[in-house]
Every structure is written in structure tokens, then in C-alpha cells.
Amino acid sequence: MTANWQGNGGLVAATVLGLVLLLALPQIVDPVMMIELTSYVIMAILALSLGLIWGYGGILCFGQSAFFGIGAYAYAIAVINFGDSTIPLLLSIVVPGLFAALLGYFLFYARITDVYFGVITLTVTLILYKVMGATSGSQYVIGAAPLGGYNGIPAVPPLNLPGRPDVALSFDGLFYLSGLTLLAVYVGLRLMLKSRFGQVVVAIRENERRAELLGYDARFYKLATFAIGGAIAGLAGCLFANWGMFISPDVFGLAQSAQVIIWVIVGGTGTLLGPIVGCFAIQWIATKLGAQQLLNANLVLGTILIGFVLLVPKGVVPTVSDALRRLKFRPYVAPLVEQRRVP
């Protein structure tokens, strides 16, 4: 009972902390920083989707940006055609989720191994990049939405109140919505991982053969995890299209795919907090490096990644967690970090 109380207490503490930050940050930062923070929050949702797939499902996916981009394009095309954003918002979740389920079905049930799985998902992402980039002609339209090729789709209509296209979401409203979405995804995944489904997913990651001998269909559980991660990434894509009011094939690019992996590696796999921390930290460093001309930003980020892989292979959050446990802070740290392991 004590363990359950600690786990629930950690979840409540994380939720309260998230709400406090969500309400306090707009009061203490300037509008320019708010714009940056909104993008950080949106990308943290994308990082969480890979944190679930890779960190808990053990699925090495190099193409998470594919679902991110599909969600963004699904929203942009649908909202231009429908006017109201209610259905497009749902489509930005359902379409990438179904695409992930379809792709995952062929890969998991064909018993594709980890390395080849990563290569195939990355290839799919780059194919989408090329395909969407080749849609620059006037004949490439879906309803009233021109695809625009590499120029993308400009002037994407913002989210609005359900059934009220005339009441659009303000930029401050987008920050609050993105923050609440990140918090909801985090809490939802924490609860899911505590459920029987989540425990089976972690068990399959730890020892797939043993889980199958116990009667669990590892392919189904991997497929479900992959589809959930794809849907979450698509939701992040919808918010990203709202943030920039623009979407282009760059969301499928190699740089976007690599960034997500770096965020999770730096923050730490096997936790939900790690991808969020890694995402915020790397984006902040990239922003600061982009504001100066002395150092090459890509070189510095590459050095940071190599350093973490060699010196901090577990990532920031698991390493700090282990250090605090050794200092007798285990009862307070474990509920917050929530690393899932199966004996």
C-alpha cells in the first residue's frame, strides 16, 4: 500500500508541478520567450511519443517524424477544407495512428528485427519527404488545400472552439493548450504503464521470448504501442502546424528524425520525464547556439550527443535518479522518475 501511495503521490506531485509552471511561466517571461516555450512544449509531446515506443516498447524507430508530419498535414488539409477545426484535430490523431498501425502490422508480423525496423521507418520518412516535396504543381490539391511542394502549406487556420470557427485560439491559448496536452499525455502514459497492458509491454521489452511462452502475443502489444506512439506524434504535429501556421516537407526531413532520437538519448530511455527534459535542454542549447556566430551549432550538438553516449549512457534523468537513490532519496525520487523494470 505504501508503494502505491508513493506512486500515486509522485504522479499527483508531477501534475501539480506541471500546472503551476503552466500558470506561472506566462506571467514571468516575455512574449518572445513564450513563443519559444510553446515550440519546446509541442516538441516535448513528440519526444514523449518516442519515449514510449523506444524506452518502454523496446522498438527502435528512426522515423517518428513521419507520424508527426502526417498529423500536421492531415490537420492543415482538413481544416482548410472544413473550416472548423474539430474534425481536423481528430484526424491529426487518427490518421497517423492508423498509418503507424498499418506500417507496424507488416513489420511486426513479419518479425523484422530492431536494426532493420529502424532503417525501414527512416526510409518511410524520407520517402514521405520526397513525395510531399514533389507536389509543387497546381494540380496537386486536395479539395481547397494546395500541397505546395517544398514551399509547403501557408496560412494554416488555427484551432477554434468546437463548432465555433469564428472563435479562434489565441497564441497564449495555444501555449496553455499545448501545456495541458503535454501534461495529459504524460499522466495518461504513466497510468497506462501502471496497467496490465503497460506491464506486459515492459515485460516484452525485457524478454520477448519469455513473455510469449507465458501466452502473450508480443506482436500485438508492440503494434498497439507503436500505434499509440504514432497517434501522440500526430497530435504534436497538429499543434506544430498551429504554432507556425505553416507546414512543409521539412517535418519529414532527416534533421527532424535525428533530433527526436537525440532528445530521448540525452534525457534517458525507460522514463517519461527523460524525453521531456532532453527535449527542453537540447532545444534551449540549439536556440542559444543559433544566436551566435563563434561556434558551429551542429558540431556542438554532435559533440554533446557523443559525450552523453560515452559518459552518460543512461541519460540525464536515470543518472540523476541513481545518484539521488544512493544518497538515500529513493522514496522521493522513485515515484517521480517511474522507471519501469521487470525482474
Number of domains, the chain: 1
Structural domain contains residue 89: yes
Determine the Cα–Cα distance for residues 120 and 309; give it in Å rounded to an integer.
23
**Residue 334: pLDDT over 70:** no
Structural domain contains residue 290: no
% of the chain exceeding 70 in pLDDT: 92
Structural domain contains residue 334: no
68-81 pLDDT, tens digit per residue, is 999 999 999 999 99
Among 117-121, 146-150, 199-203, 318-322, which stretch is predicted with the lowest mean pLDDT?
A: 318-322
Structural domain contains residue 61: yes
- Domain range for 53: 14-252
Determine the Cα–Cα distance for residues 208 and 80; give it in Å rounded to an integer.
45
Structural domain contains residue 316: no
Which cell numbers in the block locate residue 61?
524507430
Which cell numbers in the block locate residue 248?
512543409
Question: What's the pLDDT at 11?
Answer: 79
Higher pLDDT, 304 or 233: 233
Average pLDDT of the segment spanning 151-171:
88
Residue for grid cell 522515423: 63
Structural domain contains residue 337: no
Task: Judge whether 267 and 315 are in contact, CB under 8 Å.
Answer: yes
Determine the Cα–Cα distance for residues 28 and 16; give it in Å rounded to an integer.
18
β-sheet bridge partners, residue 247 = 153
237-276 pLDDT, tens digit per residue, is 999 999 999 999 999 988 888 889 999 999 988 899 999 9
Q: How confident is the model at residue 5 (pLDDT cuts 50, 70, 90)?
A: very low
Question: What's the pLDDT at 18?
Answer: 85
Cβ-based neighbour number of residue 111 at 10 Å = 9
β-sheet bridge partners, residue 168 = 160
Structural domain contains residue 41: yes
**Residue 305: pLDDT over 90:** no
Structural domain contains residue 294: no
93-146 pLDDT, tens digit per residue, is 999 999 999 999 999 998 888 788 999 999 999 999 999 999 988 889 998 899
β-sheet bridge partners, residue 161 = 164
Task: Judge whether 223 and 161 are in contact, CB under 8 Å.
Answer: no
Task: Judge whether 97 and 230 are in contact, CB under 8 Å.
Answer: yes
Q: What sections of the chain are H helices per DSSP?
A: 2-28, 31-50, 64-82, 86-108, 114-133, 171-194, 196-206, 208-213, 218-244, 254-267, 273-290, 297-311, 316-326, 330-337
207-221 pLDDT, tens digit per residue, is 999 999 999 999 999
Query: Minimal CA–CA distance to 239: which of 141, 155, 134, 158?
Result: 158
| pTM for the whole structure | 0.91
